[in-house]
Structure 1
């Protein structure tokens, strides 16, 4: 047996309980999920342990696999494969660091690295717990000075800021209709070009606040597109930069929106306790500055996370608070970025929460309400509601489960999902498909649904 030269890698593999074969298998899975070549075997792993340094993106893949197994960030140094000067640091973009000059440097580097498909950004996992410390710092942060810049650069006007807002709405509409994977890179190019130029230009304090707020909304929107694309570590970096921009803009409710997004993502990834913490941070940090509809959205995120934890009493209390607050909202006094959170969206949050609690009747009722009231402008949201409804038909006691109806509803969702490029949609369908396993030999509808699903996957891949 060869001597182990890379003791750091060996120690982490032992801590994670991973053999050479298991690590190789996990590497193949991760490479495949990112569309990368990856014919890794246990022989490769043995060579790395002997001291061979793999080339290309392989070190980042190894660190990502071990990080997932251990539930923490694993760096290239941790696995004995020292990063080069060109590599981003593992914690890059994850701090609450609201000094304007720091934000300008970090956002520009983030957007450049994203356009350059930096391995760390696409392969790195960022556990939600990594953000608990920045959350605490934001909660106690003092109000910032308004951002202003002088010099020879051109002067930013209110018309420039309005153009950013309108462009954000265009990308938001594309995201809702066609999924986060559709034009995310184009949105990053807009940030790196137009928005970055404006942030580095000259502006007075009043315009600076508006500019930073508009940049925050565009940045969190691109983060949401990354989340929808399954690029979760990248999404969290975008969300944290949106938080920094919103803080410098002096907009606590907008910063709270970022924490609500982080809560939504953490809940999707099964990090339920952190999802509760992020939603409550949004409520606590914004407090009386939040308008009724914004506060209702915070409460809905809290309810969804509590429901995932099985905390029925507090989840229902949060839903009731969301409903009361939403009823007080007036569109003319609400920020434009919360316009999506209408009655249909609130019903959708109720449906998801009751589904997580296993309340079949309520889950079906609110999912159906969502589908009746939601706009065709939000086809992805309608797919999520349909799949929630389909899953609810599989809940309850054995005799109450309606597999035929579940497959019928899910099949209708697939018809709508055909043009939507979204890792989240695919994950929703995959989770529903797993729930059909006990019935695959009992109900013909299961086979028909799976044939429809596989046909859609083939068409998407072609």
Structure 2
């Protein structure tokens, strides 16, 4: 059964009080750990309360005074401390004193009537808490599912403008995958959207206008696959904020409107995918959520599932495996009965990748079997244009990733080989991933021989050459991971030679 964590409730009330207020001049991991204990929250609940990833909290507690959160995160911790009551402040002072640290404790002064937002653990503070704004005011920084066209257009445009202007709130990159689960749940149970048509005195939008945007989206898709997310992302944001925003605020029929919202969702998730490729993970998730909103306005459940599948792919890449499973399964269930066989196979493949990362062999194999069965039922001409990339090569690449994660070396080599033999040079980045997974499979076995290491380095060297034109942080991560796999063979000349090539490639990047 699909499980997801619901967003908890916020209650506002007025109280009249005196209190002692603790302040922390600079947060280190030690102060952050003490605040968690003073609040009496688990690591995950504290992470959700502050609005950061659970792994960040675990890292603070592991390193203590040796680590200092980023300035934006320090501000979130300040807000968390201000929201806590007097008992928490006093417990914090005692806990810090016990480890030789201190917090400044001062008297708040005369009683005053103050509005308090008490947040049940599980709701992140997010931008609204940081800036002292009302949480219901969606200004692009808060992550929420919006079914109202007026609200979603305002939120999307705020995101696009903020991205172009490098707004401060977009620099808060600590947006965890768990923060997408409540919006995901609301999308799953949302009623069908209102008619998409709207009247306007400014611009009449036709099917030709929509087709022009669709052709532009295809061009951005090609650039992304061929050159990486860093090549055209800024241009994509400019096009969204300029042409697409103008069309969305124009006048159109219901039929044209649904097509327009769908193609706007495609470009929005593609721009988010470009951000993900550049390791701008918080920004990517904000784009994915706006794309989910736009796909809902289009009445396109399979497209919404595609957005969640992308979010699952990202969560798996950054190590948030349970959330990756939830997002992929939501895509399957949310679009069940409406997705084509190819689209459904893609959902299953995303679920399998996350399960492989968790080491859940049995359920991973079940998801792979479901993907294979769906993929075999494909029929020419029935698929939407946005799933065109998911061809034979991509399907085998997904299998190769799964088997590599499970440690099934032979199967990983077979399927990455098939992926490379079937793929087009248009998909340069995917071919690079396949080569690096294949190279890693050669040296992942305990029985790897000198010949295997030589083959691995030769394959990875080809990937390095292919990666030369790619502006992609993900590719660099794959290369770094493979380099780590070579550690047991560091003294072999072939490894020394490869690492020299690797360092040369980094110098030119």
TM range (shorter): 0.7 to 0.9
Confirm or deny that 1:224 pairs with 2:273: yes
Correspondences of 1:321-400 after superposition (within 5 Å): 321-399=370-448
Aligned residue number for residue 457 of structure 2: 407
Deviation per residue, 1:278-308 (Å, 9 max, x gap): 1110110000100010011011111111111
Farther off after superposition, 92-101 or 250-259: 92-101
Residues in 2 aligned to 1:77 and 1:192: alpha-carbon distance in whole angstroms: 23
Aligned residue number for residue 143 of structure 2: 94
Residues in 2 aligned to 1:127 and 1:73: alpha-carbon distance in whole angstroms: 10
**What SS is found at the alignment partner of 2:287?**
helix
Rate the CA distance shift 1:84–1:404 in 2: closer, same or farther, 3 A: same
Residues in 2 aligned to 1:275 and 1:316: alpha-carbon distance in whole angstroms: 16
Residues in 1 aligned to 2:427 and 2:437: alpha-carbon distance in whole angstroms: 16
**What SS is found at the alignment partner of 1:300?**
helix
Residues in 1 aligned to 2:156 and 2:503: alpha-carbon distance in whole angstroms: 39
Aligned residue number for residue 185 of structure 2: 136
Please point out which of 12, 32, 35 is paired with 2:32: 12
Residues in 1 aligned to 2:67 and 2:300: alpha-carbon distance in whole angstroms: 45
Contact 2:357/2:405, CA 8 A, preserved across alignment: yes
Residues in 1 aligned to 2:389 and 2:415: alpha-carbon distance in whole angstroms: 17
Deviation at 1:119, TM superposition (A): 3.3
Q: Can you give the 5+ residue segments of structure 2 that lack an aligned partner in the other structure?
A: 1-20, 37-59, 74-101, 106-121
Rate the CA distance shift 1:358–1:96 in 2: closer, same or farther, 3 A: same
Q: TM-score, normalised by structure 1?
A: 0.84
Aligned residue number for residue 284 of structure 1: 333
Contact 1:348/1:367, CA 8 A, preserved across alignment: yes
Farther off after superposition, 159-168 or 7-16: 7-16
Confirm or deny that 1:120 pairs with 2:169: yes
**What SS is found at the alignment partner of 1:394?**
helix
Confirm or deny that 1:307 pairs with 2:351: no
Residues in 1 aligned to 2:25 and 2:466: alpha-carbon distance in whole angstroms: 51
Aligned residue number for residue 234 of structure 1: 283
Q: Can you give the 5+ residue segments of structure 1 that lack an aligned partner in the other structure?
A: 31-47, 52-70
Residues in 2 aligned to 1:245 and 1:388: alpha-carbon distance in whole angstroms: 35
Rate the CA distance shift 1:394–1:212 in 2: closer, same or farther, 3 A: same
Residues in 2 aligned to 1:154 and 1:261: alpha-carbon distance in whole angstroms: 33
Deviation per residue, 1:412-442 (Å, 9 max, x gap): 100010010001001111111112122212x
Residues in 2 aligned to 1:292 and 1:255: alpha-carbon distance in whole angstroms: 16
Deviation per residue, 1:65-89 (Å, 9 max, x gap): xxxxxx99565797xxx5377xx98
Residues in 1 aligned to 2:312 and 2:421: alpha-carbon distance in whole angstroms: 27
Residues in 2 aligned to 1:7 and 1:75: alpha-carbon distance in whole angstroms: 21
Aligned residue number for residue 61 of structure 1: none
Please point out which of 124, 128, 131 is paired with 1:83: 131
Contact 1:294/1:338, CA 8 A, preserved across alignment: yes
Residues in 2 aligned to 1:90 and 1:144: alpha-carbon distance in whole angstroms: 22
Tell me the C-alpha RMSD between the 2 structures.
Answer: 2.8
Farther off after superposition, 154-163 or 394-403: 394-403
Contact 1:146/1:250, CA 8 A, preserved across alignment: no
**What SS is found at the alignment partner of 1:393?**
helix
Q: Quick check: which one's strand share is greater?
A: 2
Deviation per residue, 1:173-199 (Å, 9 max, x gap): 110111001110111000000000001
Rate the CA distance shift 1:75–1:278 in 2: closer, same or farther, 3 A: closer
Q: What is the count of residue pairs matched by the alignment?
A: 417
Q: TM-score, normalised by structure 2?
A: 0.77
Aligned residue number for residue 111 of structure 2: none
Residues in 1 aligned to 2:173 and 2:464: alpha-carbon distance in whole angstroms: 30
Residues in 1 aligned to 2:418 and 2:63: alpha-carbon distance in whole angstroms: 50
Residues in 2 aligned to 1:140 and 1:73: alpha-carbon distance in whole angstroms: 22
Rate the CA distance shift 1:5–1:315 in 2: closer, same or farther, 3 A: closer
Confirm or deny that 1:424 pairs with 2:468: no
Contact 2:144/2:183, CA 8 A, preserved across alignment: yes
Residues in 2 aligned to 1:384 and 1:246: alpha-carbon distance in whole angstroms: 29
Rate the CA distance shift 1:75–1:302 in 2: closer, same or farther, 3 A: closer
Deviation at 1:151, TM superposition (A): 2.6
